[in-house]
A and B are shown apart, each in its own frame.
Chain A
Amino acid sequence: AQSVAQPEDQVNVAEGNPLTVKCTYSVSGNPYLFWYVQYPNRGLQFLLKYITGDNLVKGSYGFEAEFNKSQTSFHLKKPSALVSDSALYFCAVRDITAGAGSYQLTFGKGTKLSVIP
């Protein structure tokens, strides 16, 4: 069975500093990886995905993520944090073993990012 781990419940970073939110995964076969962000009382918003290709993926709002197959990691990064980036971040993996028509996502528990002014 596939799984996603986000080892940090909370990450605090000063505004303007670089941020990293960590994610590791376990899947059978090639991973389809995603990052979503959730603001209070809102649904999840898609940030970026890795399916294949370059290990550095660029997404929305200046975020990027680095795929590392040997370490089974997919860490989310941003060069300069904004206070408005404060939110809950979820890493997810798509279950492709259930077939091409399956879009089931397995999510991590989430990491709360707080950007301090």
Chain B
Amino acid sequence: DAGVTQSPTHLIKTRGQQVTLRCSPKSGHDTVSWYQQALGQGPQFIFQYYEEEERQRGNFPDRFSGHQFPNYSSELNVNALLLGDSALYLCASRPSGGGDEQFFGPGTRLTVL
């Protein structure tokens, strides 16, 4: 059984560009959350998706947007990239049957030049 998968692994963009990151949750999971982990910091919550809707949002600007598809996979979109957007972006999923444990993917390393 595959865990949470994310693509791509690494990405290099320039300022002002747009980027899309993808996440496939673990089988049997329906809630997906996205986190940004800057170098030397703990992950920071961006938003959470459930039933294809954004259910909760952290303190991130509107440049950060997302989507969840009927198969529970999710995308994170970032527009007008800034140098400060360089980070590891982590996706986490939660089982549909409940429980507090979330399973994290390996992340996408985004570098903005």
A28-51: which residues lie under 8 A (CB-CB) from chain B? 32, 34, 36, 41-46, 49, 51
Chain B interface extent, by class: 20 to 34
CB of B4 within 8 A of chain A? yes
Q: How far is the CA of A92 from the CA of B33 in the complex (A)?
A: 15
Q: Which of A11-19, A64-72, A103-111 contacts B (4 or more CB under 8 A)?
A: A103-111
Closest to A106 in B: B45
Q: How far is the CB of A112 from chain B (nearest CB, A)?
A: 10
Q: Is the CB of B94 within 8 A of A107?
A: no
Q: Is the CB of B104 within 8 A of A109?
A: no
Closest to B102 in A: A103
Given contacts A43-B4, A90-B43, A109-B41, contact A104 B100 (CB under 8 A): no
Q: Is the CB of B43 within 8 A of A46?
A: no
Q: How far is the CA of A41 from the CA of B55 in the complex (A)?
A: 29
A1-20: which residues lie under 8 A (CB-CB) from chain B? 4
Residues of A within 8 A of B (CB-CB), count: 26
Q: How far is the CA of A32 from the CA of B100 in the complex (A)?
A: 9
Q: Is the CB of B90 within 8 A of A44?
A: yes
Given contacts A32-B100, A109-B41, contact A104 B50 (CB under 8 A): no
Q: Is the CB of B103 within 8 A of A46?
A: yes
Given contacts A104-B33, A104-B58, contact A110 B42 (CB under 8 A): yes
Set B33, B40, B48, B104: member contacting A43, Cβ < 8 A:
B104
Given contacts A42-B106, A43-B4, A43-B105, contact A107 B55 (CB under 8 A): no
Q: How far is the CA of A51 from the CA of B56 in the complex (A)?
A: 21
Show 22 A/B contacts (Cβ-Cβ < 8 Å), sorted by A.
A4-B42, A42-B107, A43-B104, A44-B90, A44-B92, A46-B101, A46-B102, A46-B103, A46-B104, A49-B100, A51-B100, A90-B43, A94-B100, A101-B56, A102-B55, A102-B56, A103-B94, A103-B100, A105-B43, A105-B102, A109-B41, A110-B42
